[in-house]
Chains A and B, each alone.
Chain A
Amino acid sequence: MIPDLGQYASEVLVAYGATFFLLAAISGYSFWTSERTRKRLADFKNRQMHE
């Protein structure tokens, strides 16, 4: 399935791996903080409504 990468196989795969890792890290972190702040904001609003 993986095409024949010849003598540079490891370099190419490392480049792809590093890129995917960094992209996943920044997007994962961004979505995670987004969800967390959304919940915190909702909590705040709920509390203020009940008071």
Chain B
Amino acid sequence: MSFWKFANPNRFNRLVDRLVPYCTVLAVILLAVGIAWGFFLTPDDYRQGSTVKIIYLHVPSAMMAINIWIMMLAASLIWLVRRHRVSSLAAKAAAPVGAFMTAIALITGAIWGKTMWGTWWAWDPRLASFLILFAFYLAYVALWTTYEDRESASDLSAMLCLVGSVFALLSRYAVNIWSQGLHQPATLSLDKETNIHDVFYFPLLASIAGFALVSLTIVLVRTRTEIRKRKIEILHCQELSP
């Protein structure tokens, strides 16, 4: 039983068929628990008031925005090295989900910033790098849509993902030099004492798990769709030239 056996599109689709119902149910439950817990059962912060509740949306979506790009990078590398079609299609399927997560992080962040900093937007390193990440998602999706009907799309977009990752990281450090931040440091880290209080921590974990599962489910479903689309294309070609 090897991981690579799911490189077979049919096997992958059968796996997705079996997984999707469980994933959907679990994702909805986790998201509902995390958000309901956070929204209804946690106290307000003494400084931030009720806006602290935005954390249950902001932090998980921001994490997913980054993680989905990393997943796309891994999938692109697998495609470039091992030429498994499913991998390339998974990267393609994940990109819009990542873009949506980035958008959610930016929007909730702007609302939070408006109440806490008094401004919708600030040119803070973290905010700026998320905007840049969003631009990279757009570029990636744009490349796929332009070459939609061509074989070369997978290779070109995988290369863009690779180069884009390097430049996104570079931009991350460039903006750090460029501007001092308004944003607080990382909310969750394993080695620091100053983590947020447990009251907020556990619902946040549930919410992160919920966002992760929702993303996973959507990416799986979208990958299955892409595989089916290719099958239709192939069948279509066979019909035209028997």
Contacts and interface: CB of A to CB of B under 8 A. Distances in A.
**Whether chain A touches chain B in the assembled complex (some CB pair under 8 Å):** yes
Interface of A: 3-9, 11-12, 14-16, 18-19, 22-23, 25-27, 30-31, 33-34, 37-38, 40-41, 44-45, 48
A18 B104 contact: yes
Interface core residue of B35, B100, B229 (most chain A CB under 10 Å)? B100
Main secondary structure of the interface of A (DSSP, over half): helix
Contacts of B58: 15
Given A22-B100, A23-B104, A11 B111 contact: yes
Q: What range describes how many residues of B lie at the interface?
A: 35 or more
B107 A18 contact: yes
A12 B53 contact: yes
A9 to B, nearest CB: 7
A4 B114 CA distance: 20
A34 B222 contact: yes
Given A12-B51, A16-B53, A34-B228, 7 more contacts: A8-B50, A11-B54, A18-B111, A26-B96, A34-B224, A37-B228, A44-B236
Contact of B40 (A3, A25, A33, A41): A3
* Chain B binding surface, main DSSP class: helix
B7 interface: no
Contacts of B221: 30-31, 34
A19 B64 CA distance: 13
A31 B23 CA distance: 13
Given A8-B50, A19-B57, A26-B96, A37 B104 contact: no
Contact of B49 (A8, A15, A41, A44): A8
B235 A33 contact: no
Given A19-B104, A26-B96, A34-B222, A41 B231 contact: yes
A16 B35 CA distance: 9
